[in-house]
Amino acid sequence: MSSLSEAPTPVPTAAPARRPRVAVLFGGRSSEHAVSCVTAAGVLAAIDRERYDVVPVGITRTGRWVLVDEHAAAFALGGSAQPEVPADGARVALSLEVAAGALEALDATGGAVALQHVDVVLPLLHGPFGEDGTLQGLLELSDTRYVGSGVLASAASMDKQVMKVLLAGAGLPVGPWTSFTARRWAADPDACRKDVATLGLPVFVKPARAGSSIGITKVDRAEDLDAAVALAVSHDPKVVVEAALVGREVECGVLEDLGGGEPLTSLPGEIEVLGGHAFYDFEAKYLDADSVRLTCPADLPADVVAAVRRTAVDVFLAMGAEGLARVDLFVDPARGADGIVVNEINTMPGFTPFSMYPRMWAETGVDYPELVDRLLQLALQRPTGLR
């Protein structure tokens, strides 16, 4: 038996755990490239460097993956030149070997050299080739963990026509709409016009798989429909036409629970277009802040707020979303819960410090850095492989 006077046996100390390495992926080939760059600038400034190692990876407009100097990534919208990923960075690629989780540097001959292990990817890409399941599928091939929804939920939520079918099938309220392809429009435009006419006027003509209000036209006169369709199909060969909805435009943030419980919701926020724009278009969202009032929390009766938050969770679950989402709704407070209509779900909402999603969570008690941390923790604990 040892005595108190004897020196204690040394206890081996474990090596300090390596900080998780996060690849922040942004830019991309879609028309929302510039918005993605601005989102990345906000997130890169917010990530806790004492908890995470960060590797900023940009995707150029032509699809080249490059390492980006984050100190040069002070992207901002405004002015004549929109931000974009520079093409002169060192080229990188994600290894597709299962469980490798590695970025590889590409030399001038195209050969690959292992660069560093990546524990989780934070894909801050908006629109096609990033938010639509394509990137998620690439990450799934190598069992690389990532923030946000999986392949199916990303693809279905990005496609407004598929999304509406799924939400209606789940018994959730969606407004009147129709959809057609560029091929059908070219073959039988009169039939398409007749379908649109059943919706009345005004209508909103949209690319089925785009975001940030790019390619959308509000049509008040039947003679303006053809030009609106031409604009939409320049962004996507599938078009969705929606009847204008009466009500206040409200958004609600959804965030998965770290403990595995029911998804959490933020206090709702409201968007009001004050003038100069027919609707909440790209310029109103990003370039003309004085024309829009963003109110958070929205001034709604308590029962309507509760119904909005419940509907947002129902939409999130119906689409099989993961991590985060923003659910956009139209609300007629005079009709209570019966006055809620779902507009869409966005599985990778705008994430600048001034975007509605983080603003709503800040009002709910989760500030911007904490929100980023929660999303990374959710991704790190998710299983890999088929789930």
> Which residues carry out catalysis?
32, 212, 286, 326, 328, 344, 346, 350
- 310-332 burial, b for 16+ CB within 10 Å, e for fewer? ebbbbbbebbebbbbbbbbbbbe
Tokens of 249: 């435009």
Sign of the dihedral defined by the CA atoms of residues 283, 288, 291, 292, in that order: positive
CB burial of residue 4 (10 Å; 0-12, 13-18, 19+): exposed
CB-CB contact of 240 with 184 (8 Å): no
Instruction: Give the separation between CA 322 and CA 163, rounded to whole angstroms.
Output: 15
Q: Judging by DSSP bridges, how do beta strands 53-59 and 21-27 pair with one another?
A: parallel
Structure tokens at 278: 């027919």
CA distance 318 to 246: 24
Amino acid 142 reads: S
Region of 25 on the Ramachandran plot (φ > 0 left; ψ -120 to 50 alpha; else beta): beta
